Amino acid sequence: MVDVGWEEFRVEVQGHPVFVRRGPQVPGSVPLVHVHGFAVSGSYLLPTARALAHRATTLVPDLPGYGQSAAWGHVLGIPSLAWALLEVLDAVDLERVVLVGNSMGGPVSLEVAHSAPDRVAGVVLASPAGGMHNQPLTRALVQLARDVPRESPCMAPVVLLDYLRFGPVNALQLFGELMRFPSLERVLRTPVPTLAVIGTRDPLMPPLWRVEEVGRLAPPHLRIAVIEGAAHAMNFSHPRELAHVIGSWLDGREITEDPDEPGLSRVLGIRRGGL
């Protein structure tokens, strides 16, 4: 069922149909494009996308080979997915956007920002996987297994069919590439304003002391926020908190607790010099 004011359609990328969800048009806004994680579709991103749809035209595509988008006969790696995302933006006539990526969507968004910075007004990285904390692959698989019981049980029926459709062999192949992606190095050198949002219950993310250390050394273009109690798929489990953090960042305001939704989950804004 399509939400009121939302539409679903397909665009063509290199002869393959790509499924896109789009929220109500917000004239004059810089569109927000939500980018999903590995082996799943954009469906689990909709709670946060809906929470932000009032402030900007919002798109939630299924990347090629995921969800309701056609498979290409082989698994696309992160650089190819970034290229395909740019093709989707071209197909829907979006010149410049803010990318909101979760998990693998973070590296894909970073690749787009590095390759086409003129197309990206900013990047939001919600639980950006990849890097030394996730290596070797066996360690990452243990982290992923620890995350599963920490996620909202309501997410299981949303993503289960996506996982089954993508297949365990494809998932393992892409997961290995994702864990090797140097997320931290790419974040520190991103040529556009960047917000990283970390959950304290996410075993795929570094511990809080390491996040604080990065915050103290962060370059001016990077802001870091922590949502207490969130696991890896915070876009599904903590949409109000995440939307508040993103809205504060987009408005250039200090990232603090949402006064309209107190007590849901503590939000910490990390700046140079610590919390």
| Torsion angles phi and psi, residue 49, rounded to 5 | -60, -40
Residue with more model confidence, 270 or 254: 254
Q: Rounded to two decimals, what is the model's pTM?
A: 0.91
How much is the pLDDT for 268? 57
What percent of the chain has a predicted confidence (pLDDT) above 90? 57
Peptide bond connecting 136 to the previous residue in cis, omega within 30 degrees of 0: yes
CATH of 7-270, one of 3.40.50.280, 3.30.565.10, 3.40.50.2000, 3.40.50.1820: 3.40.50.1820
Domain regions of the chain by residue span: 7-270
Asked if the model's pLDDT at residue 275 lies above 50, the reply is no
With vertex at residue 243, the alpha carbon angle to CA 237 and CA 244, rounded to the nearest 5 degrees, is 115
| Nearby residues of 266 by Cβ (< 8 Å), 6 or more positions away | 227, 228, 229, 257
pLDDT in tens, 61-105: 999 999 999 988 888 999 999 999 999 999 999 999 999 999 999
